[in-house]
Chain A
Amino acid sequence: MAKVLMKGNEAIGEGAVRAGCRYFFGYPITPQSELPHYLAKRMPEVGGLYLQSESETAAANMVFGAAGAGARVMTSSSGPGISLMQEGISYIAGAELPCVIVNMIRGGPGLGNIAPAQSDYFQAVKGGGHGDYRVICLAPASVQEIIDLMQDAFDLADKYRNPVMLLADGVLGQMMEPVELGEEKFVQPPEKPWAATGRKKGGPKRLINSLYIVPEECEQHNLKLAKKYAVISREEQRWEEYHLDDARLVIVAFGTSARVCKAVVDRARDEGMAVGLLRPITVWPYPTGVIKRIREKVDRFLVVEMNMGQMIEDVRLAVEGARPVHFYGRAGGMMPVARDIFNEVKKLYNGGAEQ
């Protein structure tokens, strides 16, 4: 099939429609605007609904209602709006509802700016809202990968009855790349007998709920969730390896910063340095397995992020002190430049200062 040229934000929308999503609730914010624009046009074409909410708080709760009613549903926003959605996301996780949330991360904290960043990593993978819960987090690095991951995002959400977050940034959202869309096929979302759609007389009562007023029952609920999260951690780690086999120095980066780091690896290889790249595709669950597997074979790790050092904590947890883990980051909406990362790599590769 012929390739088409698409913006990342539009690819999210098309990927969602192709995955059978028919409901979008959201509130305007930069830099994800092309996504709602696309879906406002596209949803009616497939009998779906695009509804603009009065706030991100309301959007997340509309998603709660639609997901509880059994729909494939999504919302999208950026940092400040995602902060407002955290209440709803906690309730969605507590009530075990499937949905997809897109965060086109921008510079922060506060109003920050609208430039690309990865500074919502902690918020996405360490909680964000209140209570003990996890959100499956996917971090694409190309427009094609966005298309492919949208189907997976909805499937994972339904499989585990859990919110799934797509973490990207303005660069991925705005850039155009040729993508293979594949054949459009009708996707029948799975049966959801737990959805509250109206109780048949004599049938089971369905309750979409996150309240467990008795502490013993709430603990049981938390244990049940923890068990589910353990299965996800074991089964769903995804990553890409680039020249890892013989690497002495391994760069760890996700999303847009991983694209820059790939160029750095190529240049380092040209200059005879055994440098590789590990790109997590799921940032929760974090691909700790591969790091544990390779950590004894490499000299050191370099984590590159568009923030002041967040994912590095997960890398260090997986390395468990076996090797030094260094950091290079740009923040506030600034992009890491390949030349600067390369200089960092060169310094470290030649036995640079221990940190």
Chain B
Amino acid sequence: MKKVFTRPESLKDIPFHYCPGCTHGIVHRLVAEVIDEMDMYERALGVAPVGCSVFIYNYMDFDMYQAAHGRAPAVATGIKRVLPDRLVFTYQGDGDAAAIGTGELVHAAARGEKITVIFINNAVYAMTGGQMAPTTLLGQKTTTTPAGRDAGINGMPVKVCEMLAPLDGSAYLARVSVHNPKNIVAAKKAIRKAFDIQMRGDGFTLVEVLSSCPTNWGLSPLEALKWLEQNMIPYYPLGEYKTPAEVGK
């Protein structure tokens, strides 16, 4: 009988440590599937962040790096400049990429660094206990915004794709979601496109993945996906914010 579904070769056969309903597992799988399909297992190098997904370095079967909090784009820069023919990606959460690592993220994009950032936006610091992230929505309750995020105190949530789009160095910026199968398929396409554009040498690429965190949102896995769809997508519209055709316009 023909096998129609199997574990990607790039994904190690070990159980994930993630909470029930967490979407990291889905995104890990998408990245691994794309690397398999591009036949890049031997040339893929991933950079793990600090946060829940630090152990992506265990789940990916190829060579990996672990970076200091927020510094993954700088580490990836060092790798890619030494090994320009490799597929180099970072996998970062919203605290990592949009707060402590904003400088590294913006300047990797500004330099047109030929790397891909897989940016997981779940609107919360998850591993440290559900604190407010730069992407936490207005009114969203977290352990450090118990009355809900207040624009007067904390400002407005950061829109990363929109922030990076004006930079000439960014070649591909897309926001996707993994709250249902249709969007998961679209997310995989965006990751493939970003990796292809990176390998073509067009510039900096980033895929923002709207993700759920049932544990820190205080919702069931299913409720969390609904909350994502109803609350995150209106503020963080899905779509491509930059494609190579626009570079240099």
Contact in complex: A205, B42 (CB < 8 Å): no
A209, CB-defined interface residue at 8 Å:
yes
Contacting A at CB under 8 A, from B36-86, are: 41-45, 47, 54, 57, 61-68, 71, 74-83, 86
Selecting from A192-200, A221-229, A286-294, A312-320, the interface stretch reads: A192-200
A-side contacts of B63, CB under 8 Å: 196-199, 205-207
Contact between B75 and A198, CB atoms less than 8 A apart: no
Residue among B47, B61, B78 with max Cβ neighbours from chain A (10 Å): B78
With contact pairs A65-B79, A70-B82, A198-B86 given, residues A57 and B65 touching in the complex (Cβ less than 8 Å)? no
Residue B103 lies at the interface, judged by CB distance under 8 Å to chain A: yes
Residues of chain B contacted by A23 (CB below 8 angstroms): 78, 81-82
Q: State the CA gap A206–B79 with chains docked (Å).
A: 14
Chain B 145-160 interface mask (CB, 8 Å, partner A; 1/0):
0000000000000000
- Is B74's CB under 8 angstroms from A65's CB? yes
Range, interface on chain A = 35 or more
Binds B, one of A47-55, A107-115, A257-265: A47-55
Q: B181 to chain A: closest CB distance in Å?
A: 31
CB-CB under 8 A from A167, the residues of chain B are none
Q: Is the CB of A201 within 8 A of B107?
A: no
Contact A68 B65 (CB under 8 A): yes
Query: B33 near A: Cβ within 8 Å?
Result: no
- A71, CB-defined interface residue at 8 Å: yes
Q: Mark B101-112, 1 if CB is under 8 A from A, else 0.
A: 001101100000
Write out the residue numbers on chain A whose beta carbons fall within 8 Å of the beta carbon of B104.
54, 57-58, 61
Complex contacts, A196 vs chain B, CB 8 Å? 45, 63-65, 79
Given contacts A208-B65, A208-B66, contact A198 B45 (CB under 8 A): yes
B63 to chain A, nearest CB (A): 4
B75–chain A nearest beta-carbon distance, Å = 4
Q: Does A25 contact B (CB under 8 A)?
A: yes
Distance of A198 Cα from B67 Cα, bound (Å):
17
- How long is the Cα–Cα vector from A49 to B84 in the complex, in angstroms? 12
On whether the beta carbons of A69 and B62 are closer than 8 Å, the reply is no
Q: What residues on B are CB-neighbors of A62 within 8 Å? A: 74-75, 77-78, 81
In the bound complex, do residue B78 and residue A201 qualify as a contact, i.e. CB atoms below 8 Å apart?
A: no
- The CA-CA distance from A91 to B65 in the complex, in Å, is 11
Q: Kindly state whether residue A66 has any CB partner on chain B within 8 Å.
A: yes
Chain A contacts to B: CB under 8 angstroms: 23, 25, 49, 51, 53-55, 57-59, 61-71, 73, 87-88, 91, 95, 196-201, 205-211
Q: List 7 A-B contacts (CB under 8 A).
A: A49-B81, A54-B107, A58-B77, A59-B74, A64-B75, A87-B68, A91-B67
Beyond A68-B75, A205-B64, 7 additional pairs, beta carbon < 8 A: A53-B74, A62-B75, A64-B78, A66-B79, A87-B71, A95-B66, A196-B79
